[in-house]
Amino acid sequence: MATETLTLGKALNRGLRRALEQDPKVIIMGEDVGKLGGVFRITDSLQKDFGENRVIDTPLAESGIIGTAVGLSIRGYRPICEIQFDGFVYPAYDQIVSQVAKMHYRSQGKVKVPIVIRIPFGGGIGAVEHHSESPEAYFAHTAGLKVVACATPQDAYTMIQQAVASDDPIVFFEPKRRYHEKGLVDLDAPLDDAYPLHAARVVRPGRDATLLAYGPMVRTALEAAAAAEEDGRDLEVIDLRTLSPLDLGAVYESVKRTGRCVVVHEAPGNLGLGSEIAARITEECFYSLEAPVLRVTGFDTPYPAARLEEDYLPNLDRVLDGVDRTFGW
């Protein structure tokens, strides 16, 4: 078994490399993904090793990137499209929602659209609007798309390969502020034996309350659970991993046991994923709940200037405040 300590960004790079090695129909497209290796260097050295016909520098035209990928996927390719920053995906929104999401249904299942759209998302890097946004709810709301978010180097390495191997179009969210965080990665683990792509995972067992998070907020939730332990509270943390379809079996089991739940995400609270999850938990676990399902989220404003982002983003104190409030009922 080849296990290495990698950053999350490097784990993505190794996962993309393995996907390119295993299938000649896999190609990577995006702005500066070739010679530069992407603005975050996730595709570093891939063009050098696989050539300009498989790692393609595109014009600054996100709609054109996705539209071209639709045509290529229909012709049997498996395009991986990099959107440079979360807020840059909006020019491609029409192609994703009107074409990528609907082609399979429109053709009565005769046409597959195996496209992976990689989007670095979330704040915490000192950037501004268009560079620090969390647009996952737009895509999770769209039937025909699958949406996932990785949180650890091991998941980044495995999930990107699973997404590329899938015949479904997948929007793949990467927590850009976690790109440089390290973890052990098993590089030889067979993909067939890997944890399923569309499954949530308990990352810290507990008995008193359930914290739900995904992407960059998983680490924050784990830090909150460690801090709460000092106050005698044993919090269970679940990494949702898949945002569409949601996998809530483990969530229901946890909430029925703890009676309390707090959902954490960076995206604004209004009509965010936390709203949908809270509604479903209420429907499924109503008689087990000791308190309403609470949300700790970004605020319902445009993403602020960099000097204010620490006030905007959910942090340890805000998550612990949510935990305190759920015990106040």
Q: Where do we find the tokens 């993403």?
A: 303
Question: Comparing C-alpha atoms, which of 299, 230, 199, 217 is closest to residue 262?
Answer: 217
Dihedral angle sign, alpha carbons of residues 242, 245, 247, 252: positive
- Residues serving a catalytic function are 131
Task: Give the span between the Cα atoms of 306 and 304, in whole angstroms.
Answer: 6
Distances in Å between the Cα of 81 and the Cα atoms of 78, 108, 171, 326 are 10, 25, 10, 41
- What is the 8-class DSSP label of residue 246? B
- What is the 8-class DSSP label of residue 34? S
On whether the CB atoms of residues 243 and 149 are closer than 8 A, the answer is yes
Query: CB within 8 A of 295, min separation 6: which ones?
Result: 262, 263, 264, 265, 269, 272, 274, 275, 278, 322
At 89, list the tokens: 């995906």
Helices 316-327 and 217-229, axial angle in degrees (round to 10): 60
Element (H, E) at 184: strand 182-186
On whether the CB atoms of residues 121 and 173 are closer than 8 A, the answer is yes
